[in-house]
Amino acid sequence: MPLVRIPEPFDHDEWIYELKLDGFRALAFIDGHHCRLVSRGGYTFKSWPYLQTELAHAIRCDSAVLDGEIVCFDQDGRPNFHKLLFRRDWSYFAAFDAFDAERA
């Protein structure tokens, strides 16, 4: 969704807000003990093999699709895109939405 500038902060009880994580948006395709991280443009990320292994073993189902963000964090828990871009620290996958392919 494109950003829109508004003059005042928006707050409403019927809306839920998510933190903005500064990273790479990705889909994690889990199949058994294998995981493939794919960008919105269809590019398969190959720079985080340990993250793929961790995701494949952490998800407790045979197949799933997770929508999320690959991100690195500072000591204070804030996302740090520079660390992610230059592979300066451990990366994490922050999942937004999960889909269990077996139950579809």
Q: The tokens 């952490």 sit on which residue?
A: 58
| CATH classification for the domain delimited by 24-103, as one of 3.40.50.300, 3.30.470.30, 3.40.50.720, 1.20.200.10 | 3.30.470.30
- pLDDT for position 103: 65
**DSSP-H helix ranges across the chain:** 49-58, 81-85
Q: What is the pTM of this model?
A: 0.77
Provide the residue ranges of all domains of the chain, joining segments of one domain with +: 24-103
Find the angle CA(75)-CA(76)-CA(78) to the nearest 5 degrees.
100
- pLDDT for position 104: 60
- pLDDT for position 85: 93
**What does the pLDDT look like over 24-37, one tens digit per residue?**
999 999 998 999 99
* Active centre residues (catalytic): 20
**What does the pLDDT look like over 5-61, one tens digit per residue?**
878 877 788 887 777 789 999 999 999 899 999 998 999 999 999 999 999 999 888
Say if CB 101 and CB 64 are below 8 A apart: yes
Q: What's the CA gap between 23 and 51, in Å, rounded?
A: 14
